[in-house]
Structure 1
Amino acid sequence: MTSPTPPAEPTYADRTFRSPAGLVGGALLLLLILWIGLDAAIRGEGRVPWLALAGLLTAIPLVVAFTLRPAVFAGERRIRVRNPFRTITLPWTDVATVRASYSSELFTQDGTKYQLWAVPVSLRQRKKAARRQSRQSMDDPYGRTPVTADVHATRALTAGADQAVVDLRELAERAGETPVAGDVVKSVRWAYEVIAPAVVGAVLLVVVAATG
């Protein structure tokens, strides 16, 4: 008699954390830069077209790096932080905590800190969430504490960026309680595809400006 095949362990797709405001702002800024730069490159005279092209080569990678590129990918076994100029991959077992103060930060077990550019902190949203929590505590006739309060209500009163940090912290704690076997190792990779064109553009911009 053939023994039944054990069910395969479920796999989970990465959860992606990004800044919607950064994506929209970056796209609009890119359109503006392209409009001004290409107009100057086509209609300009003398050194203007070369300055415009060098400026585009410098500005576009930087705008992409700081607005469209940042993202955090949280999977079952690892977290991958894609910042403007670096991509950090860590197994959950290396993550000590995730917190938000003036910026969102990830701390490893050895004390190394990495900023999460994709999860910007809004002090205005945090103050609004604090005011809503204060009003709820005053209006709640049952006097519930945060421990006994409804989870959905608590989440609704949390600032957006802070909620993303809470979700990441929960994922780290859950992975620490039930570690998943795997070969994920810590890695830090520089984004040369962003750095190289920006540096080349900056050098061309200086050369063209100096030789005019």
Structure 2
Amino acid sequence: EKQKLLGSVLKKGVETQVLSLAQQQLMQQHLDKITAEQTKKDTIKKVNDILFDPLSNTELKTTNIQAIMSNVLDGPATAKVKGEIIQEIINTVAGSSLEAQDKAAIIKGVGETIATHSDTSLSLPNKALIMASAEKGIAESQTNLPDRELMTKGLVDGIYEGKGGPEITKAVSSGIDNSNINDSEKEALKKAKDAASEAALDRDTQNLTEGLKGQNIEEHKPHDDIYNKAREVI
């Protein structure tokens, strides 16, 4: 109601030119703040409905929360506000009564959604800012440290799954640094993040090695091509 009233007053004020530019800007800022808070509340209600739906399994919960995330990322809010909303979403998932493995799986999906989001609608610095907020949501959640470590690993796995660059992975460390937890917890979460990064890189290296083995490199060398081409010319 307050949102509608303020929007209506602002519209009339602009139309009748009663409000000065400074007053308009102040009212617009206030309206944006109220709108952001309302969006946050509505979004968290939807997330809770998904988390506590007894008929949906982890996979379905992940898909539905990914859809909500995409809507937030595509929305008109600033990157800062989007980050705040996503921090709340992650904090809600992390603090829920689901099993730690299930929470980590959902958060992996969230990491992938942010990492793969269109670069045209969300710039790389903004993506990094939002990823840092996501990790902050994990770090500051009211759950035990081993669970938070597992969820941090899940977020990093999601980034690698979504082919996110080093800026996005670094943002996870930034989220840990900026969270209001003690130093030993920060250290533990950073170790979990680094372990997940190393494991993901090892998997990539192994897959690449397997792929190259399959191509049987020894049989076909570039200099053979050059030699054959030279023979054709002769």
Give the number of the structure whose residues are more often helix, by fraction.
2
Give the number of the structure whose residues are more often strand, by fraction.
1
Relative contact order (C-alpha < 8 Å, sep 6+): which is higher?
1
